[in-house]
Amino acid sequence: MSDMTSFLQDTATPDGLIAADRLSSMLHITRAELAVTLGLSRDAVAKATRAAAPATQSRLRDIVEILNRVRPWAGSPQQAFAWYRSQPLPSFGDQTAEALVKEGRAEAVKRYLDRVAVGGYA
């Protein structure tokens, strides 16, 4: 099993949902900080029924997928998260992945990372 699969499995519940508490613990942040990072309300990740909602799960899955793609060259989930929050992306007017995900543009970030992974230009 790859490290990438392991990270995803470590954040997922047996029913396939991303557990906000596990993810925030792995990133060494609070659930409230995770909510802000995702552009969601604190309740969206703190309350079980809201955390299981499709919109919340979509954002949680987006960040896990992005961190999974970045982690091999960042070194750890925490370093990947630091990249996610602070690295300006030239293709997006120097916005960060975090800003783009908050805008609902996670798929654009994933495509960008796919281009970089195959040797394309940022």
* DSSP string covering 41-103: -HHHHHSHHHHTSHHHHHHHHHHHHHHHHHHHHH-SHHHHHHHHHH--BGGGTTB-HHHHHHT
Question: How much is the pLDDT for 1?
Answer: 38
pLDDT at position 57 = 94
Output the pLDDT for position 2.
Answer: 45
Residue by residue, pLDDT tens for the chain (122 residues) are 344 456 667 888 888 899 999 999 999 999 999 999 999 998 898 888 888 999 999 999 999 999 999 998 898 889 999 999 999 999 899 999 999 999 999 999 999 998 887 776 65
pLDDT at 6: 61
Provide the token pair at 110: 């994933």
- Residue 98's pLDDT is 96
d(C-alpha 81, C-alpha 69), whole Å: 11
Return the amino acid letter for 119.
G
The whole-number pLDDT of residue 121 equals 60
Q: Give pLDDT, residue 117.
A: 78
